[in-house]
């Protein structure tokens, strides 16, 4: 799990597959091979405490980023629940 301070936007990510599963698992799916910076990823689903960042080309889930995302440049979305905790 990445967070606002972990520098995930400047890290390079690869759309290689279901990262939380072992590649030998039957539910493992392969990604499209896209490679790029976290800041180029698109927002996927929002969960209670994090957002899924997905591949801009095939929308495969690449990394989860913990809230808040505020002040992180390209990601300006503020999760509604944050601040009311
Ligand atoms: Zn992809």
Q: Domain residues of the chain, as ranges?
A: 12-66
Distance CA 26, CA 82 (A): 36
pLDDT tens digits, residue range 7-62? Answer: 999 999 999 999 889 999 999 999 999 999 999 999 998 888 888 999 999 999 99
Asked if 60 and 54 count as a contact pair (C-beta separation under 8 A), the reply is yes
Distance 83 CA to ligand 1 centre (A): 33
pLDDT tens digits, residue range 70-85? Answer: 544 444 444 443 433 3
Distance 28 CA to ligand 1 centre (A): 14
Cβ neighbours of 4 (radius 10 Å) = 16
Task: Point out which residues pair with 46 in neighbouring strands.
Answer: 51
Which residues neighbour ligand 1 (ion) by CB within 5 Å?
15, 31-32, 34, 55, 57-58, 60
């Amino acid at each position: 799990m990445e967070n606002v301070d972990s520098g995930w936007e400047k890290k390079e990510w690869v759309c290689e597959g279901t990262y939380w599963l072992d590649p030998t698992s039957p539910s493992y799916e392969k990604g499209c091979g896209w490679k790029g910076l976290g800041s180029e990823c698109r927002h996927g689903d929002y969960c209670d405490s994090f957002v899924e960042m997905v591949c801009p080309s095939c929308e495969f889930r690449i990394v989860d980023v913990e809230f808040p995302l505020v002040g992180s440049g390209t990601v300006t979305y503020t999760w509604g629940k944050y601040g009311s905790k």
